[in-house]
Amino acid sequence: MASEFSWEVRVYYEDTDAGGIVYYANYLKFFERARTEWLRAIGVGQQKLLEEHDAMFVVKNVSADYHAPARLDDALKLTLVIEKLGRASVVFRQQAWCGTTLLNTAHVKVGCVDGALRPRALPDAVAAEMGRFVAN
């Protein structure tokens, strides 16, 4: 069974619109931060990845479904699993929860590129660590 990564974040005033509801685009920021924290948790520093392997990640595609609003001061749990691990790309399923309420589901495809932004294979050690998070 795949491991699910989760990371918590609090909704701040700057994350909301005039009505105190999280602005829709801010879910993408939350999900980006969760992916970064997940990489750290599996021992992959993005700066080190670039310096040692000439590899970095870029977002290629995002689709998001909004199920319920998050509000000012809510404590959110962000989760991720990998839906597809390719040779040079990864498709994540990420979700935002407030308690037991699902707020948002996003599918994010990231590609691995070199410093010149050309596609390249994931480094073997990174791909092996990521493999633990592939959904069945």
> How far is C-alpha 22 from the geometric centre of its chain's CA atoms?
18
Element (H, E) at 89: strand 89-98
What's the pLDDT at 90?
Answer: 97
Architecture of the 4-132 domain = Roll (3.10)
Please, what's the b/e burial string for 24-62 (b: 16 or more CB within 10 A of its CB; e: otherwise)?
Answer: eebbbebbeebbebbbeeeebeeeebeeebebbbeeeeb
Which residues, given as ranges, of the chain have pLDDT below 50?
1
Catalytic member of 17, 65, 73, 114: 17
Element (H, E) at 30: helix 26-41
How far is Cα 11 from Cα 75, in angstroms, rounded to an integer?
Answer: 6
What's the pLDDT at 2?
Answer: 64
Domain edges within the chain = 4-132
Q: What is the CA radius of gyration of the chain?
A: 15
What's the pLDDT at 3?
Answer: 85
What's the pLDDT at 121?
Answer: 97
Which tens digit of pLDDT belongs to each residue from 83-96?
Answer: 999 999 999 999 99
What's the pLDDT at 112?
Answer: 98
How far is Cα 22 from Cα 12, in angstroms, rounded to an integer?
Answer: 9
CB atoms within 10 A of CB 2: 13
Single pTM value for the model: 0.93
* Whether residue 17 lies in the annotated active site: yes
